[in-house]
Structure 1
Amino acid sequence: MKDNGQNLYVGIDIGGTKILAALVKGNGGVIATKRCPTPRSGTGRSIITAATTLAGGLLSGQKLSWRDVTAAGVAVPGVPHPSSGRVVFSPNTNLVGVEVVPLLEKSFGVPVAIGNDVNLGTMGEYWQGAGRGARSVVGMFVGTGIGGGIIIDGKLVTGCREAAAEVGHIIIQIGGPQCGCGNHGCLEALASRTAIERDIRQAVKLGAKTALTAIVGKKLAVIKSSALKQALRQNDKLVTSILRRASEVLGYACLTIRHLLDPEVIVIGGGVVEACGDFMMPVIERIAMHHSVQGIGHAGRIMRSKLGDDAVVLGAVALAIRKVRGDKDQRADSRAHEVALRPDGSVVVGGQAVTGDVFIRPNGKAKPRRKPTGKIGLKEAVKMTKGHPQAIVIAADKPGSIVFTDAARAILRERGVNVSVLPVARAVEAYNAETRRRALLIHRART
């Protein structure tokens, strides 16, 4: 998906308790947001009316109207039919059977795209967040339940029934606690906030002490993520123990995802992780990173969500842009930027001749080198890994003139980047033949 950054889009996240709307530029910049409670007692139509009113208020607050908007995207907590725009499953709202897209398109007067909220949260992180620059991303979001999303080569994997990426229902423990889905031992039944609350209440019932009784009340009716964070800060032994166990379970879930899909990035987010991630992430990473099957190069990264509440609305906007732009990828694909060598020895990138020392990033953009020397230090090596290339080809008139400092070699090795230094003609061939995410540095002899 490409956009000039000047077009305006609206993203809407319809949740079980709140509706969030955002006005977003085509380059992902959030201009303004507005939220309201989700109607709980009304019909699905009342939810759509609330979303429509909210989005209209968002625009009027910026002295805009729908005539200024290119398209809108809406996220729902359930399964929407991709062509009709009708919600076919939504356990926490009254949207089942509601034709969301036709209703909103009639009201807004612009194209509307619809998707599952967690899928779109993953899309948002892929576009503007922790997964930016990667080609394969799996999202796992831990809140009241646990949901997920899968993106491979820039496209959402939704499955034959639009029900893929239900990572919360991976069976972790045979015969374990019953999940809300009816199965036993699901990840969601072991590591969601609902599961954490259950385990805390059971322990207190058996006589365990916890600071939570002072924080939220003796009945422990509702234990929010913020309360868990507060208890952690007080070094509460019970909360620490239960959260450590939940984090370990999440770590093994990440391990399963890694063995199954081997994604470049696993993004972990949701309310529990946003509140308690400083404690949880090291535990998750330790298990997922140290128990995985060895492969070529370094394993993908496990990263904490960067976008918070904005992830879903940004993903909704990304989907809207794809709808109006013909389902193109958000980032320029380096496959479209083949390199050619002219008979006179000059190099052509994307149809344009380049002179001097340049670096071709994974997105195909050519950037001049600030210091066109054969020495590559740490600072330049770090810049070379921007966009997360898996392979960097260096084209040099004199390959022996390329020298890496020890620190530069170390960072490239740490980030799993394969580097090859070749004469210019061979380097061009190697770069064009490279099937991994690639980058190219061209160093010409100075005359």
Structure 2
Amino acid sequence: MPETAKTSFRPISFKPTIYAGVLFAILLFGGTAGFIVYEGKLQKRADEVQMIYKDLLDFRSTLTLIDQQLSVTHDRPEVLQNIIRNTKLLQFRSINFQARAEKNRMHDLASWMKSNQLVLEKMIVDIEMKRVEAGNRISLMILELDDIILKTAIDVRLSSGKVYDTVQLFFFIVLAVLVVIIISAGWVIVSNYRQTVMPLNQLAEKLRMLNEELPESFHDTAEEVKKNIRPEEFSNDVNEITDSIVRFCQNIELKNKKLDELFIKDEKTNLYNYRHFKDHLIVDVARAKRYNERVSMTMIDIDRFKAYNDANGHVAGDIVLERMARIIREECREADIPARFGGEEFAILFPRTNSRKAIDIVDRLREIIAAEPFYHEKAVPGGQLTISAGIATYPDDAVDWYSLINKADKALYRAKQTGRNKVVHFREVEIEEEGESEQEKGEEKKAGE
């Protein structure tokens, strides 16, 4: 994974998001309910102030009418009675104005109405007594009332403006919250994309590359995933998927190993079969050719095994094969490839091993088998079961894997010819053949003379 992709991210957990969403919903509903209640109170006061303003205008009209009537006539009883009735109505209305003004915190209006209730009472007395002071009191009240009406008009405007501003503020807050939600949601989506979708795409691409051509890539896939996908970098979902893939690859690798063992192992001896041996031989010879190394192999045959089978039966022969195979496995190194070549013949491949080392290993194996007690081995000629082995080394003795097998088999044949229970290297066969050839040439030369 590129270094730029290894920046640590805090894993996304949807629990805080859910909790935040629930809290936001509670705040939204609570805030909306609170705004509705608060806005309703403001609107109610604005309506009441508006109504008081209209009533004040009506109050002033009545007061002006009384002033005009007083200035026109003083001696007509029916007019005076009408003036007194209107003045008493104003007195009653002033009490109502005072209560409404105090309720709506209009202190100037409440104070003025309270102080002029006594003035209206004196006006009634003055009108009944036909005094001119009544007109003077009304003129003064009208002047004071005009000032109160002006203040009330300002209050009406302020109340209506406060309602409007509150509504505007609420919508601004809602808009701001929506913007925050959109930005937060976008951040969550982007983060989730970076921590889930992108890693999954990278993981899928890596799996595709690793498994495209390599049959053993399950192991590589699991190792690459464990190495490059770190738990602290991505979300819990990606980590769970990663762990599942690792476990899946490991399980598949384990099952493949078991299947490979069944496919590449000989059922009777549990050694590798000829097919697997040949595959490794081809690969190791090609590697030795590339890196200028040595590869040795040996062909092993059980001496007089047919006589043992004829004397003891094939079941006893199979037991001998299994015990010899176990000894061969125990004496081989970890890198060696022991195999059952066929019948009572075995083969061992020694990668990166010269002829001297191969001879030492096989000769030690021959001595161990010769010393091993086998069931009824006295029945065979010689009184014990032994092995003969032939060894060849690439590139000293052969030019390819096929000729290496033939040379080792030829060395084995010479070991069987020259007494059995021995190890012969193909070099010895060549030396003997060269000596025989020189001897034949000498005999032919003498015969010619």
Range of TM-score over shorter length = under 0.3
Q: Which entry has the higher C-alpha Rg, 1 or 2? A: 2
**TM-score normalised according to structure 1 size:** 0.18
Larger strand share, 1 or 2: 1
